[in-house]
Chain A
Amino acid sequence: MTEAFSDQLVASLPRLRRFARGLAGNASQADDLVQAACERALTRQHQFQEGTRFDSWMFRIVQTIWIDQIRSHAVRKEDGEIEDERYGSDEPVRRAEARLALEEVRRAAARLPAEQREALMLVTVDGFSYKEAAEIAHVPVGTIMSRLARARVALVAQLEAGGGLRRSGDDAAAQR
């Protein structure tokens, strides 16, 4: 293993964890997923082509392992499984409220079908283009496009139903 390869892997860990959290819905399974992806990447680093995007390659590995786990029923998704964050007991109330709102958004995302969550995480959260996301997910660009749209619409519906959709106009109205 080259040091440079390992360095890239270490630097990717926060984003990989975020992507995995979006897929798996909870921290423990997500970190298991990332750990498995790291181990696989190290055994297959000869397959990585210099000059291509390392992050895309790693996301693809995470995605592949995740799909394998779903297919083998190794992962059981349970609602409400999103773990509480580690907040200090002296967390200011306003920050706690803000975090509860963020948690609600993550819960809404976790209720989406797996393939929609995947598209949402890749494009909306991690900023991959549709083409890049399609390559990572092993599907056509059009599929990413439609999955993403369904995810975004469903998310809006869930947040509106739960009163959690933040409106820029709300702040303005509150100030009037």
Chain B
Amino acid sequence: MQRPSDELLVAYLDGEVEETVALEVESWLERDPELRNRLQVLTESATQIRDAFEEILREPVPDRLMAAARGRPPSAEPATGAAILSFSAKLAGITARKGMANRRWGLGLAAAASLSFLVIGAGGGYLAGTGDVSIDGVQRTSTATSWLDNIAGYHNLLISSANGAETAVFDVPAGSESEKKLPTDIRVPDLKPWGLAFQGARKLVVEGKPAFQFFYMTDNKSLGPITITVTNTTRQDISPTFDKREGVNLLYWRHQGHGYALVGSADKGWMWGIANDIEFQLKAI
């Protein structure tokens, strides 16, 4: 075999050569330092190009594209109800990797020991001081529900992540030290009695304003992982309301300037129970 070309090296790196060819390439690599260096350069450039485009996955998806995907004219998307959520670090690669979420469920309880607790205070503070966000859309009719669709969609994307339980996904990973990075009026709700372990919080952008999505996992497959998204709002309070979007269940409500959305695959009974617990802990009702 002749000295491997760049083309062959790239194919080797991509795992696209037969085993016999791969062995020959490796044989060359063992005795050719220059070739090893070339391989390293090609490897690192590939990593860089992936990193460079990864963050695009975390950008907000424009309303017009959500509308197009739903077969709706852009004008059908509510001006104030569109959910613009941006992903946090490392979430990018997950969308291409499906079906691995269940394998991560077992990590939930293991992480629970390091939990601290979150409560979103009723008073002012970080969220309350940043202006209205589109939780207001929740009482609208089906044409004004993209907020809920997006919350559910992004919940699904996170759950489908093979890396969903890794702290790198989160702006604020679980753990007492990192949770100090949360706004002072926020604490972590204790859902351990439900077998739900807090994994971390992601800072989202909802119509240009900050919001937080809290992620919990469990090994209880009848319950499954859940997310809680907290926004702020100037609209009047509403009672918890059940809905089903994107194949997942939602319970949402507003209370004293905050909007809450609990999202998960658990049945309605579980959802109401967890929501009641959250409301009680967060003094959010």
Q: Write the residues of chain A forming the contact surface with B, with a CB cutoff of 8 angstroms.
A: 1, 6-7, 9-15, 17-18, 21-22, 31, 34-35, 38-39, 42, 55, 85, 99, 102-103, 105-106, 109, 120-121, 123-127, 129-130, 145-146, 148-149, 152-153, 155-156, 159-160, 164-168
Q: How far is the CA of A7 from the CA of B70 in the complex (A)?
A: 8
Contact B44 A102, beta carbon cutoff 8 Å: no
Contact B44 A166, beta carbon cutoff 8 Å: yes
Residues of chain B with a CB closer than 8 A to A85's CB: 55
Q: How far is the CA of A4 from the CA of B156 in the complex (A)?
A: 14
Interface residue? B50 (CB, 8 A): yes
Residues of chain B with a CB closer than 8 A to A9's CB: 69-70
Contact B49 A120, beta carbon cutoff 8 Å: yes
In-complex Cβ contact of B14 among A14, A130, A153, A160 (8 A): A130
Residues of chain B with a CB closer than 8 A to A167's CB: 40-41, 44
In-complex Cβ contact of B247 among A7, A99, A153, A159 (8 A): A7
How near does chain B come to A152, taking the closest CB pair, in angstroms? Answer: 5
Residues of chain B with a CB closer than 8 A to A13's CB: 61, 65-66, 69
Q: Give the tally of cross-chain contacts (CB within 8 A).
A: 136
Contact B56 A14, beta carbon cutoff 8 Å: yes
Identify 30 residue pairs between A and B in the complex whose beta-carbon atoms are under 8 Å apart, listed by A's number: A6-B71, A7-B153, A9-B70, A10-B70, A12-B95, A14-B57, A14-B92, A17-B59, A17-B61, A17-B65, A18-B54, A18-B57, A21-B56, A35-B68, A39-B68, A102-B52, A105-B51, A109-B52, A125-B49, A130-B16, A145-B7, A149-B6, A149-B9, A149-B10, A152-B45, A155-B49, A159-B48, A165-B44, A165-B45, A166-B44
Contact A124 B49, beta carbon cutoff 8 Å: yes
How near does chain B come to A28, taking the closest CB pair, in angstroms? Answer: 10
Q: How far is the CA of A8 from the CA of B141 in the complex (A)?
A: 23
Residues A10 and B50 in contact in the complex (CB < 8 Å), given A31-B64, A152-B6, A159-B45: no
Interface residue? B1 (CB, 8 A): no
Contacts A125-B53, A152-B6 known; list 16 others, CB within 8 Å: A1-B71, A6-B71, A14-B58, A15-B95, A17-B56, A17-B59, A31-B62, A35-B64, A35-B68, A38-B69, A39-B68, A124-B49, A149-B10, A155-B45, A165-B44, A167-B41
- Interface majority SS on B: helix, strand, loop or mixed? helix
Residues of chain A with a CB closer than 8 A to B6's CB: 149, 152-153
Interface-central residue, B5, B45, B156, by most chain A CB under 10 Å: B45
How near does chain B come to A138, taking the closest CB pair, in angstroms? Answer: 19
Residues of chain A with a CB closer than 8 A to B58's CB: 14
How near does chain A come to B99, taking the closest CB pair, in angstroms? Answer: 13
Interface residue? B46 (CB, 8 A): yes
Kindly state the interface size class of chain B when it binds its partner.
Answer: 35 or more
Output the nearest chain B residue to A121 by Cβ-Cβ distance: B53
How near does chain A come to B169, taking the closest CB pair, in angstroms? Answer: 15
In-complex Cβ contact of B157 among A11, A55, A145, A159 (8 A): A11
Contact B44 A129, beta carbon cutoff 8 Å: no
Contact A15 B50, beta carbon cutoff 8 Å: no
How near does chain B come to A5, taking the closest CB pair, in angstroms? Answer: 9
Residues A6 and B45 in contact in the complex (CB < 8 Å), given A15-B57, A31-B64, A149-B10: no
Output the nearest chain A residue to B40 by Cβ-Cβ distance: A168
Contact A149 B65, beta carbon cutoff 8 Å: no
Contact B65 A15, beta carbon cutoff 8 Å: no
Q: How far is the CA of A120 from the CA of B96 in the complex (A)?
A: 16
Q: How far is the CA of A17 from the CA of B56 in the complex (A)?
A: 7
Residues A14 and B95 in contact in the complex (CB < 8 Å), given A7-B246, A31-B65, A124-B46: yes
Residues of chain A with a CB closer than 8 A to B70's CB: 6, 9-10
Contact B53 A106, beta carbon cutoff 8 Å: yes
Residues A6 and B69 in contact in the complex (CB < 8 Å), given A127-B96, A159-B48, A167-B44: yes
Residues of chain B with a CB closer than 8 A to A146's CB: 7
Output the nearest chain A residue to B68 by Cβ-Cβ distance: A38
Contact A10 B149, beta carbon cutoff 8 Å: yes
Interface residue? B23 (CB, 8 A): no
Interface-central residue, B49, B92, B149, B153, by most chain A CB under 10 Å: B49
Output the nearest chain A residue to B11 by Cβ-Cβ distance: A145
How near does chain B come to A143, taking the closest CB pair, in angstroms? Answer: 12
In-complex Cβ contact of B46 among A1, A6, A55, A152 (8 A): A152
